Amino acid sequence: MLAIFLDLESTGLDACKHKVIEIAFKIYDVFSGQLITAYSSVVKHPYTVWEERDLSSILINGFEWETIDQQGKEIPQVREEIIRAFTEAGVARGKAVFVCQNPAFDRSFFVQLVDIYTQENLNWPYHWLDFASMYWALMMQNPHLEPFSETNLSKDEIAKSFDLPPEAKPHRAMNGVDHLILCYQTVVGFGGRKGASSVNI
């Protein structure tokens, strides 16, 4: 079974108005903890997209127009590279799942790169798992971990509860992926082995 640890950065929170400007993912074998492949790209857009940005979102991810304009790849190229990476890794429904911190957000912007019908035709997984829910389940089994009435399910707060460092800032896509993997390895584990040192991120 494969896990696609994925994170996206965008020009804002509204997928009907804003656009994805960076994608990163790493695909792991969840039993062995082996890294299968990794991918990261800035996504190029016209300046009119940048003009519609949400300033609070840009403050979080630290993007500048020059980065998008000079380092970004056109969407058709990014789409082809994602499809190639997934195909070579053996991503298929029933054999892989997406793992994200905020899958509702990531999924809504991911379709800007690979539309839902292409995903269906390629038989990609439609399960997008929520890391915070994994922690929630663990907490419900071990209620002494944190006062239930004050639970904070942000990834940085979950990391803090396990004495892990916060995500590196600014919040770029690969930073998010690496921190998600660190937290997943510690909370859930690969092949039943928990602990940040047992997998090479």
CATH superfamily of domain region 2-198 = Ribonuclease H-like superfamily/Ribonuclease H (3.30.420.10)
**Cis amide linkage into residue 170, ω under 30° from 0:** yes
| Strand ranges inside the chain, DSSP E | 2-10, 20-29, 35-42, 96-100, 128-130
In the chain, where the domains are located: 2-198
List all residues 6 or more positions away from 191 whose beta carbon is below 8 Å from its beta carbon.
30, 31, 32, 33
Which residue, 59, 70, 84, 72, is CA-closest to 20?
A: 72
Model confidence, pTM? 0.92
Task: Provide the residue-wise pLDDT of the chain in tens; the chain has 201 residues.
Answer: 999 999 999 999 999 999 999 999 999 999 999 999 999 999 999 999 999 999 999 999 999 999 999 999 999 999 999 999 999 999 999 999 999 999 999 999 999 999 999 999 999 999 999 999 999 888 888 766 555 555 688 999 999 988 999 999 999 999 999 999 999 999 999 987 776 555 555
CA distance 135 to 155: 10
